[in-house]
Amino acid sequence: MISIDPTDKSPIFEQICKSVCRDIAAGVLRENDRLPSARELAKLLQLNPNTVAKAYSILERDGIIYSMQGKGCFVARHEGKAYEKLTENFRSAVREALDAGASADELIEIIREMSRDN
Amino acid sequence: MISIDPTDKSPIFEQICKSVCRDIAAGVLRENDRLPSARELAKLLQLNPNTVAKAYSILERDGIIYSMQGKGCFVARHEGKAYEKLTENFRSAVREALDAGASADELIEIIREMSRDN
Amino acid sequence: MISIDPTDKSPIFEQICKSVCRDIAAGVLRENDRLPSARELAKLLQLNPNTVAKAYSILERDGIIYSMQGKGCFVARHEGKAYEKLTENFRSAVREALDAGASADELIEIIREMSRDN
Amino acid sequence: MISIDPTDKSPIFEQICKSVCRDIAAGVLRENDRLPSARELAKLLQLNPNTVAKAYSILERDGIIYSMQGKGCFVARHEGKAYEKLTENFRSAVREALDAGASADELIEIIREMSRDN
DNA sequence: GTGGTCTAGACCACC
DNA sequence: GTGGTCTAGACCACA
């Protein structure tokens, strides 16, 4: 389920975080579901185990998953945290654009354009 | 006019690009206006000339300015390029959010919330 | 494989670009092959790493290679881009000559002469 | 007649040389015709007189024009020199391409393509 | 004076 | 280890 685009400029650990959050937000992963172990996932995605471990530790820090020594990592009670993390980049981009002097209406117009194209 | 925020985590050369684009989009800088020379601006902003030169070379590659050996850098015919470059980050964030499963309406709602707070 | 001619007046970073493109066009470098790291190549060619980095960043911007943080630079899907970049100078010289009033036949005749001499 | 494109990356003095050669090759300027004085031309094209002077001195060195103290510059007996100078860039581009491993046939094919497009 | 290129050496995030 | 960014200072061609 979790997938990576190696050509993507964003750090791989971040892509993993996003991917997990996406699955949670979409309901593919539910509360207390077990995530693949760091080693498993690293092997599957051809990554350095450290990279996966880093992603998991961030997700744990953000309260999106919890780990149990020797058992693995599991999806936490979410309360919208996963969704929030997903739109985190979007929020900061909005803040940046507003700071740069764009108006809310201009941004909304851009979104309308872009969703129309799809 | 062009300014830098040293606390901003984004690369300085990018901040310069944005700043120039902002001035062009706002009409402060117009077609064929001369930009401060790389050395001049570097001194003004307390930066290394190379950093400014990098920003200028990117702006030139993107067709936003043009340079003339021994004369300086000048604003090119814009045709909205500057504005587009300014909202480039926002656009990619929108694309990412839509890919992540967010709906256009949700994103618009977030913008409304955030601009209300300001 | 990649080599530099210090007597050549064209910029070193450009020579590197050309050299890489040549290897790709010739099939010596293939899709997803890893290029020597910037530091490695710099040491090999007795250059400053920044010079190599500049060449690589241009190749990346032109879609000829792609870079991965912490991993290195790799040959992108080419679709003839490398060959096109190689003959880029030639193309612009042809355009210039045609603009100057030369006919295609005259230019072809010049090429025939020059290749005969070799 | 002589004209300059300030956005062109090639040095202005070179553009002047080319422009004069073009006029000679095209028969617009003939043997012993007088060129505009450096000062005149500089004023006309909004250039630094030094730039025009440099161009003229190069043309004189190459035997394309001759100067008479206090009288001005005049077109020399050409014997094809102007035409040769015009195609000089083309020749070096051909040499470069051949050195890079391109075959004469490939280059000829490119010329055919490009002249077809016009 | 200008931009363009290059060197030397540094710090950072990422893997 | 890698690439990405930045600084400090240099040389050159061009105008």
**DSSP letter string, B7-65:** T--S-HHHHHHHHHHHHHHTTSS-TTPBPPPHHHHHHHHT--HHHHHHHHHHHHHTTSE
Of the two residues A118 and B6, the one the predictor is more confident about is B6
H/E segment holding residue B72 = strand B72-75
Q: What is the dihedral of CA A29, A1, A3, A35, to 10 degrees?
A: 50
Separation of B29 CA and E15 C1' (Å): 43
Q: Which of A43-47, A89-93, D100-104 has the lowest mean pLDDT?
A: D100-104
Judged by CB atoms closer than 8 Å, whether chains meet at C114 and D94 is answered as yes
The reply to whether the CB atom of residue A89 sits less than 7 A from any atom in nucleic acid chain E is no
Q: Residues B59-93: pLDDT tens digits?
A: 999 999 999 999 999 999 978 889 889 898 899 99
Specify whether the CB–CB gap between C40 and C56 falls below 8 A.
no
* Interface A:D, ≥3 CB–CB pairs < 8 Å: no
- C12-117 topology per CATH: Arc Repressor Mutant, subunit A (1.10.10)
Average pLDDT over residues A50-60: 96
Specify whether the CB–CB gap between A49 and A39 falls below 8 A.
yes
Residues 6+ apart with CB under 8 A from D43: none
The reply to whether the CB atom of residue A55 sits less than 7 A from any atom in nucleic acid chain E is no
Choosing among B68, B73, B75, B77, which should be mutated to test the D contact, i.e. which has the most D CBs within 10 A?
Answer: B68
Confidence (pLDDT) at B97: 87
Judged by CB atoms closer than 8 Å, whether chains meet at A96 and B90 is answered as yes
Q: Residues B24-54: pLDDT tens digits?
A: 998 999 999 999 999 999 999 999 999 999 9
Share of chain C above pLDDT 90, in %: 69
Name chain C's partners: 3 or more CB pairs within 8 A.
A, D
Average pLDDT over residues D43-51: 93
Structure token digits, residue C97: 């000559």
pTM: 0.91
Judged by CB atoms closer than 8 Å, whether chains meet at B69 and D6 is answered as no
Could you report how far apart the first and last alpha carbons of chain B are, in Å? 24
d(CA B29, CA A102): 17
Give the pairing of strands B72-75 and B65-68. antiparallel
Measuring alpha carbon to C1', the residue closest to nucleotide F7 is B48
Separation of C31 CA and E11 C1' (Å): 32
Separation of B72 CA and E2 C1' (Å): 6
Residue with tokens 């050509």: A7
d(CA C26, CA C20): 10
| CB half-sphere exposure, A96, CA atoms < 13 A | 22
d(CA C87, CA C69): 30
d(CA A111, CA B75): 29
d(CA A94, CA D45): 48
Confidence (pLDDT) at D10: 92
Q: Does A17 have pLDDT greater than 90? A: yes
Residues of chain B (58-117) having a beta carbon less than 7 angstroms from strand E: 60, 67-73
Cβ neighbours of B22 in A, within 8 Å: 100-101
pLDDT confidence tier of residue B94, bands split at 50, 70 and 90: very high
Q: Which nucleotides of F are covered by protein (CB under 7 A)?
A: 1-10, 13-15
Confidence (pLDDT) at A118: 61
Q: Residues C67-114: pLDDT tens digits?
A: 999 999 999 997 788 888 888 889 989 998 888 778 899 999 999 999
Confidence (pLDDT) at B63: 94
Measuring alpha carbon to C1', the residue closest to nucleotide F6 is B51
pLDDT confidence tier of residue D86, bands split at 50, 70 and 90: confident
What is the CA angle D33-D24-C93, rounded to 5? 155
Query: Which residue does chain D place closest to C26, by CA atoms?
Result: D101
Query: Which residue does chain A place closest to B114, by CA atoms?
Result: A95
> What amino acid is encoded at A38 in this protein?
A
Judged by CB atoms closer than 8 Å, whether chains meet at B87 and A108 is answered as no
d(CA B108, CA B112): 6
Confidence (pLDDT) at A102: 83
Question: What is the average pLDDT score of chain D?
Answer: 90
Adjacent-strand bridge partners of B65: B75
Specify whether the CB–CB gap between A90 and B107 falls below 8 A.
yes
Average pLDDT over residues D9-36: 93
Residues 6+ apart with CB under 8 A from C117: none
Judged by CB atoms closer than 8 Å, whether chains meet at D11 and B68 is answered as no
Share of chain D above pLDDT 70, in %: 98
CB pairs under 8 A between A and B: 88
Average pLDDT over residues A73-94: 87
